[in-house]
Amino acid sequence: MYQDLEKTQAGEPPMVEAQTPEAADHEPLSAQVREARLQCVQQYLMSVVSQKDAVRAGFGVINAGLMAVTVPFAEVLEKYLRKPSLSIDNVQKILPTLDTYHRLTRLIERFGQLDARIAPVREKKRPLGS
């Protein structure tokens, strides 16, 4: 599932793969690193769905989804940036992927800030089903 995200960015191949086939020559990040990242996302998801407040749980589920989508982008960028032949011109090729990654991480951060701001107010409300 997450590998498909790496291959498609808004219905098109990511700029990194399309314009820099030599990036595929680099050793992929270990399966352990990927698994650890996804496990962190899963732990976060499990913690938010157990919340009694449906609104905060909903924000958390959305945020966990964004985090899961971000993992493949981080991997693509890390693989490319580890290239010994990296130059300013080559970095231009990954700017769309970097921009998407940046936007995703900003959304994650914004949802986190929103949750922190609404938490005290929402805790005073009666939980659903009570």
Q: What is the pTM of this model?
A: 0.68
Query: Which regions of the chain are under pLDDT 70?
Result: 1-29, 126-130
Q: Which two tokens stand for residue 124?
A: 């005073």
Q: Which two tokens stand for residue 37?
A: 């990242």
d(CA 35, CA 24): 20
For residue 12, with 0-12 CB atoms within 10 Å meaning exposed, 13-18 middle and 19 or more buried, which class applies?
exposed
Torsion region of 83: left, alpha or beta (phi above 0 gives left; psi -120 to 50 gives alpha): beta
Cα 25 vs. chain centroid, distance in angstroms?
24
User: Residue 102: its pLDDT value, please?
Assistant: 96
User: Residue 129: its pLDDT value, please?
Assistant: 58
The amino acid at 88:
I
The helix or strand, by DSSP H or E, that contains position 81, with its residue range, turns out to be: helix 54-81
In the chain, % of residues over pLDDT 90: 45
Contact 111, 63 (CB under 8 A): yes
